[in-house]
A and B are shown apart, each in its own frame.
Chain A
Amino acid sequence: MSQIHVITTINGDETEFLCEAQETLLDVLRDHLDLTGSKEGCGTGDCGACSVIVDGRLVCACLMLAGEAEGRSVETIEGMADGDDLHPLQQKFLEMAALQCGVCTPGILVATKNLLERNPNPTEEEVRYWLAGNLCRCTGYDKIIRAVMDTAADMRGAA
């Protein structure tokens, strides 16, 4: 079977790749483009470890075929920091130790970045519901929720 030729934008850079028809966006990110920050925790869209933003919308990269990325703009964890300058969410997670093993962390950061772009002033309940699609087995979510709330407050203050 012939491969599919895809031109897409990943973290602001135009990117070309060839993929098999059945390969997911997550397969291509991890195995072809060496962007291994997105993780496969389940492969069924239940854990959120592979969360990426596609044209402003939060999606599980394990559920999207790579061929569907044609002409779209994909944001992954690798594009979140600006060089050595961490995104405010990354900085707050670091200050509060809102992560432990780090496997769910890229997905949670991508998901919360998307949340704060939509809703700069979320309630605790809104943060918990938004992140209900991202499983974390290490932290019990306490520091994650606090870090997101604190970052939102900081970003509102800076705006």
Chain B
Amino acid sequence: MPMDGGIGASTKRREDVRFLTGAGNYTDDINVNGQAYVAFLRSDVAHGKIKSVDTSDAAGMPGVIRIFTGADFEGIGGLPCGWQVTDRHGEPMQEPAHPVLAQGKVRHVGDPIAAVVAETLEQAKDAAEAIEVDLEELPAVVDMKAALVDGAVKVHDDLTSNLCYDWGFVEENRDAVDQAIKSAAHVTTLELRNQRLVANPMEPRVAIGDFNRATGESTLYTTSQNPHVIRLLMGAFVLGIPEHKLRVVAPDVGGGFGSKIFHYAEEAFCTFAAKAINRPVKWTASRSEAFLSDAQGRDHVTKIELALDADNNFTAIRTETYANMGAYLSTFAPSVPTWLHGTLMAGNYKTPVIYVNVKAVFTNTVPVDAYRGAGRPEATFQLERVIDKAARELGVDPIALRRQNFVTEFPYATPVAVEYDTGDYNGTMDALERMIDRDGFAARRAASEAKGKLRGLGINCYIEACGIAPSQLVGQLGARAGLYESATVRVNATGGIVVMTGSHSHGQGHETTFPQVIAEMIGIDASMVEIEHGDTQNTPMGMGTYGSRSIAVGGSAMVRAAEKIIAKAKKIAAHLMEAAEADVELKDGQFSVAGTDKSVAWGDVCLAAYVPHNYPLEEIEPGLEETAFYDPSNFTYPAGAYSCEVEVDPETGKVEICSFAAADDFGNIINPMIVDGQVHGGIGQGIGQALLENCVYDDQGQLLSASFMDYAMPRADDVPFYEVDHSSRTPCTHNPLGVKGCGEAGAIGSPPSVVNAVIDALQSGGHDVDHIDMPVSPSRVWAAMNNA
């Protein structure tokens, strides 16, 4: 065991010293000599025809270097969509153009019309205000169902309608599901909205473009979760820059939660403009711009039906969902309501047939894409809410109903096209029940009632598909990218190691956990291992960090590269010890020959590789550096059981969370302290969704919740301490570490238990309320209680 922590140790995060002392190097902390500043002129209407853009006055203002409009990007590629969904009838989705700067029309408030590059940011902003745009305002399409009515105003004139696709999954099951619902002993139906959210990482997006005229190389510094993906999309599809002339750097990144996966117009603009004016060009989003330009999340309207037989076994699930795409297709938007949502509708339960219908709709709103969980929270919420409703209707215990229907044998092929490799859903529910003192709930409820409060207990389960994903599978499903991960392990002559990974850390602690794995494999201290990430120039082509994939896919690539290193090092050690390679063992950083006292240290083998005086040069090359690309054979399937207790004040409708417990099965765990933090953060965001957050547009398409004064982020006094447990572990069977991923679990698993608890509280007070849409705000609770 390494002295400073191998696999399973709560090693302290090495990146934290720089973050704790203000020494982090985030994109906005970077200033390139000679940089100019960008201000975008953004549409203040949701839908309009651009009749003219007059920049003549603005161009003469102090400090202005150049003003760009949509005309400057004619003939240049638009922002590409990375996923094509095929609809129920075998037709490809409707895919509109997405220009870098608006051409012809604006389609949401915040759509960029022009960009001013000036010596200072103030000058750029002043000039942007002086641009005269003649805009013919058009009626805005905001409501999804209204957008699909015949004759509705079209967001994109060249498409046949506002319907992006009408997806059926699994289409062949449609009749069987209809039949099962018709013949069911009981059907529970629930209609709900999974409201639109804004990811709001605390670091707003930043882009700095730089062009070196001497080398012809462009560099983009950007707040991205996946710099190689940005390089590929922007280089190949937008600006036509080959990869060897384009470097993308994502240094310390201040949170992402999905919103920094996507390729954004501002990145392409700054890269383009830097070359056009031959100066570095910097853009830093204000928080208002973040609200108006970061891809938003969720926004599904769903009807779900759960059919049960006379013994309360689930027999079928049927759902119909409207999914808001916003005005354009963001990079991975089409995949979220389909392959990241429909495939999870089985949940933890053995329901024989399932049919999911999703209609994706264009509206005059900011584009919607993946936000922490991405499709899986929407699936989990509707399923776990409808099960709770069914339990109440049938008068059965909600935990017992779940346990009765759990999948218990693995591998398990769901009726929605995925195969769960391992799991123990009773195990996580047992772990949860050990934490929550359910027997004591009646007394706690009585104590609350004595204070005039209503107390509720909510339970739910979740499963998610993580470690995204097998490239060949996602290719069949419409992905236009591979989803492997890469790592290069470079051993230096004196034994220190640098791992260059395509995964990207923006809060997850990779710089700590990845070395723990290498330290464990070789038996050296983790402090001998350094992680490089975030720069396409230093790291092999990788797909980045999202979908809880870093340790499961990126970590596996690193293990494969390290295995190659160890195999080669054993050959060198065998030569040095004059032994057969098959007899060489590696333990605690020492190579030895079984049954002898011969040994050679890790550092000596590394030195021999780079100073190959006594070395088998006829058999192997000098040096010790290996690269591996790892493409998983399946997703991973973390799962868990969550519980929440709330007190509701019947006078005001205010919900207070009294306790929150989470039991997760993440398979093997590298650093339990970091995993706890990931779960905490996810729960915090899930409670935010359940109680506070709501991204609201008015019927003109104006974003009403465009600041932290209007969009209620969870604050320290809104949340409780969380009790978390990950002792229930069924290791993943198909990756070398047996890991499953933990980044999204909390956000997926927590909203239903909060809402289930509120409904339970209201029911205990005699209120016949079976659903309240999120956020479960005081006004909504009060209205539900008072039939207002």
In the complex, which of the residues A80, A86, A140 has the most CB atoms of chain B within 10 Å of its own CB atom? A140
Whole-angstrom CA separation of A37 from B654 in the bound complex: 37
Q: Which residue of chain B has the shortest Cβ distance to A36 in the bound complex?
A: B29
User: Binary interface profile of B, 736-751, with partner A (CB < 8 Å = 1, else 0)?
Assistant: 0000000000100000
Could you tell me if A94 and B202 are in contact, using CB atoms closer than 8 angstroms? no
Q: Which residues of the other chain, B, contact A129 by a CB distance below 8 angstroms? A: 716-717
Cβ-based interface call for A155 (8 A): no
Q: Which residue of chain A has the shortest Cβ distance to B18 in the bound complex?
A: A102
Chain A nearest Cβ from B50, distance in angstroms = 29
Cβ-based interface call for B535 (8 A): no
Could you tell me if B17 and A46 are in contact, using CB atoms closer than 8 angstroms? no
Could you tell me if B21 and A81 are in contact, using CB atoms closer than 8 angstroms? yes
Q: Which residues of the other chain, B, contact A140 by a CB distance below 8 angstroms? A: 680-685, 687, 714, 719, 722, 746
Could you tell me if B20 and A100 are in contact, using CB atoms closer than 8 angstroms? no
Q: Which of B251-259, B310-318, B552-560, B568-576 contacts A (4 or more CB under 8 A)?
A: B251-259
Whole-angstrom CA separation of A81 from B19 in the bound complex: 12
Could you tell me if A145 and B287 are in contact, using CB atoms closer than 8 angstroms? no
Cβ-based interface call for A139 (8 A): yes
Q: Which of B136-144, B442-450, B504-512, B727-735 contacts A (4 or more CB under 8 A)?
A: B504-512
Could you tell me if B721 and A105 are in contact, using CB atoms closer than 8 angstroms? no
Could you tell me if B716 and A42 are in contact, using CB atoms closer than 8 angstroms? no
Near A by CB (< 8 A), chain B positions 513-565 give none
Could you tell me if B716 and A105 are in contact, using CB atoms closer than 8 angstroms? no
Cβ-based interface call for A99 (8 A): yes
Near B by CB (< 8 A), chain A positions 66-80 give 76-78, 80
Q: Which residues of the other chain, A, contact B253 by a CB distance below 8 angstroms? A: 101
Cβ-based interface call for A104 (8 A): yes
User: B707: which of A35, A44, A101, A145 is its contact (CB, 8 Å)?
Assistant: A44
Chain B nearest Cβ from A47, distance in angstroms = 6
Supposing A101-B201, A134-B716, A140-B685 touch, asked if A43 and B19 sit within 8 A by C-beta, the answer is no
Whole-angstrom CA separation of A138 from B202 in the bound complex: 9
Cβ-based interface call for A153 (8 A): no
Cβ-based interface call for B23 (8 A): yes
The interface on chain B, measured as residues whose beta carbon lies within 8 A of the other chain's beta carbons, has a size of: 57
Chain B nearest Cβ from A87, distance in angstroms = 9
Could you tell me if B21 and A102 are in contact, using CB atoms closer than 8 angstroms? no
Supposing A44-B707, A80-B21 touch, asked if A102 and B684 sit within 8 A by C-beta, the answer is no
Cβ-based interface call for B5 (8 A): no
User: B287: which of A42, A100, A104, A141 is its contact (CB, 8 Å)?
Assistant: A42
Chain A nearest Cβ from B525, distance in angstroms = 18
In the complex, which of the residues B18, B29, B203 has the most CB atoms of chain A within 10 Å of its own CB atom? B203
Cβ-based interface call for B12 (8 A): yes
User: Binary interface profile of A, 101-144, with partner B (CB < 8 Å = 1, else 0)?
Assistant: 11111100100000000000000010111011111111111111
Whole-angstrom CA separation of A146 from B721 in the bound complex: 9
Could you tell me if B708 and A105 are in contact, using CB atoms closer than 8 angstroms? no
Q: Which residue of chain A has the shortest Cβ distance to B673 in the bound complex?
A: A97
Q: Majority SS of interface residues in chain A? A: loop
Whole-angstrom CA separation of A142 from B680 in the bound complex: 7
Near A by CB (< 8 A), chain B positions 649-689 give 673-674, 676-677, 680-685, 687
Q: Which residue of chain B has the shortest Cβ distance to A35 in the bound complex?
A: B22
Cβ-based interface call for A49 (8 A): yes
Cβ-based interface call for B400 (8 A): no
Q: Which residue of chain A has the shortest Cβ distance to B723 in the bound complex?
A: A142
Near A by CB (< 8 A), chain B positions 146-202 give 200-202
Could you tell me if B708 and A42 are in contact, using CB atoms closer than 8 angstroms? yes
Chain B nearest Cβ from A2, distance in angstroms = 16
Could you tell me if B713 and A137 are in contact, using CB atoms closer than 8 angstroms? yes
Q: Which residues of the other chain, B, contact A22 by a CB distance below 8 angstroms? A: 122
Supposing A39-B202, A100-B677, A132-B715 touch, asked if A137 and B22 sit within 8 A by C-beta, the answer is no
Q: Which residue of chain A has the shortest Cβ distance to B290 in the bound complex?
A: A42
Q: Which residue of chain A has the shortest Cβ distance to B25 in the bound complex?
A: A36
User: A38: which of B17, B22, B674, B683 is its contact (CB, 8 Å)?
Assistant: B22
Whole-angstrom CA separation of A39 from B204 in the bound complex: 10
Could you tell me if B254 and A103 are in contact, using CB atoms closer than 8 angstroms? yes
Whole-angstrom CA separation of A109 from B16 in the bound complex: 13
Could you tell me if B22 and A41 are in contact, using CB atoms closer than 8 angstroms? no
Q: Which residues of the other chain, B, contact A127 by a CB distance below 8 angstroms? A: 716
Q: Which residue of chain A has the shortest Cβ distance to B22 in the bound complex?
A: A37
Whole-angstrom CA separation of A81 from B673 in the bound complex: 24
Chain B nearest Cβ from A21, distance in angstroms = 11
Supposing A99-B19, A101-B255, A109-B20 touch, asked if A137 and B201 sit within 8 A by C-beta, the answer is yes
Whole-angstrom CA separation of A5 from B291 in the bound complex: 36
Could you tell me if A100 and B722 are in contact, using CB atoms closer than 8 angstroms? no
In the complex, which of the residues A49, A105, A129, A146 has the most CB atoms of chain B within 10 Å of its own CB atom? A105
Supposing A35-B22, A47-B202, A102-B24 touch, asked if A135 and B722 sit within 8 A by C-beta, the answer is no
Whole-angstrom CA separation of A102 from B201 in the bound complex: 11
Supposing A37-B22, A103-B254, A128-B716 touch, asked if A143 and B16 sit within 8 A by C-beta, the answer is no
Cβ-based interface call for B286 (8 A): yes
Q: Which residue of chain A has the shortest Cβ distance to B708 in the bound complex?
A: A46
Q: Which residues of the other chain, A, contact B707 by a CB distance below 8 angstroms? A: 42, 44, 46
Could you tell me if A103 and B26 are in contact, using CB atoms closer than 8 angstroms? yes
Q: Which residues of the other chain, B, contact A36 by a CB distance below 8 angstroms? A: 22, 26, 28-29
Could you tell me if A41 and B16 are in contact, using CB atoms closer than 8 angstroms? no
Whole-angstrom CA separation of A75 from B493 in the bound complex: 44
Q: Which residues of the other chain, B, contact A146 by a CB distance below 8 angstroms? A: 721
Q: Which residue of chain A has the shortest Cβ distance to B122 in the bound complex?
A: A22
Supposing A44-B708, A103-B254 touch, asked if A145 and B506 sit within 8 A by C-beta, the answer is no
Q: Which residues of the other chain, B, contact A136 by a CB distance below 8 angstroms? A: 202, 716
Whole-angstrom CA separation of A103 from B29 in the bound complex: 11
Supposing A94-B17, A105-B20 touch, asked if A137 and B257 sit within 8 A by C-beta, the answer is yes
Could you tell me if A101 and B21 are in contact, using CB atoms closer than 8 angstroms? no
Cβ-based interface call for B621 (8 A): no
Cβ-based interface call for B15 (8 A): yes
Whole-angstrom CA separation of A37 from B28 in the bound complex: 11
Chain A nearest Cβ from B731, distance in angstroms = 24
Could you tell me if B203 and A41 are in contact, using CB atoms closer than 8 angstroms? yes
Could you tell me if B16 and A99 are in contact, using CB atoms closer than 8 angstroms? yes
Could you tell me if A100 and B709 are in contact, using CB atoms closer than 8 angstroms? no
Could you tell me if B684 and A103 are in contact, using CB atoms closer than 8 angstroms? no
Cβ-based interface call for A90 (8 A): yes
Chain B nearest Cβ from A65, distance in angstroms = 14
User: B202: which of A41, A96, A144 is its contact (CB, 8 Å)?
Assistant: A41
Supposing A101-B507, A102-B252 touch, asked if A138 and B681 sit within 8 A by C-beta, the answer is yes
Q: Which residue of chain A has the shortest Cβ distance to B24 in the bound complex?
A: A102
Could you tell me if A49 and B202 are in contact, using CB atoms closer than 8 angstroms? yes
Cβ-based interface call for B13 (8 A): yes
User: Binary interface profile of B, 490-511, with partner A (CB < 8 Å = 1, else 0)?
Assistant: 0000000000000000111100
Supposing A49-B202, A134-B716 touch, asked if A102 and B12 sit within 8 A by C-beta, the answer is no
A/B interface sample: 16 pairs, CB < 8 A: A30-B28, A39-B202, A40-B28, A76-B22, A86-B17, A86-B21, A90-B21, A94-B16, A97-B677, A101-B201, A102-B24, A133-B715, A135-B715, A140-B714, A141-B714, A141-B716
Give me the interface of A with B, judged by CB distance under 8 Å.
Answer: 20, 22, 30-31, 35-44, 46-47, 49, 76-78, 80-81, 86, 90, 93-97, 99-106, 109, 125, 127-129, 131-146
The 3 tightest CB contacts between A and B, nearest first, are: A37-B22, A140-B684, A102-B19
Give me the interface of B with A, judged by CB distance under 8 Å.
Answer: 12-13, 15-24, 26, 28-29, 31, 122, 200-204, 252-255, 257, 284, 286-287, 506-509, 673-674, 676-677, 680-685, 687, 707-709, 713-717, 719, 721-722, 746
4 other A-B residue contacts (CB within 8 Å) besides A49-B202, A100-B255, A135-B715: A44-B287, A102-B19, A131-B717, A143-B680
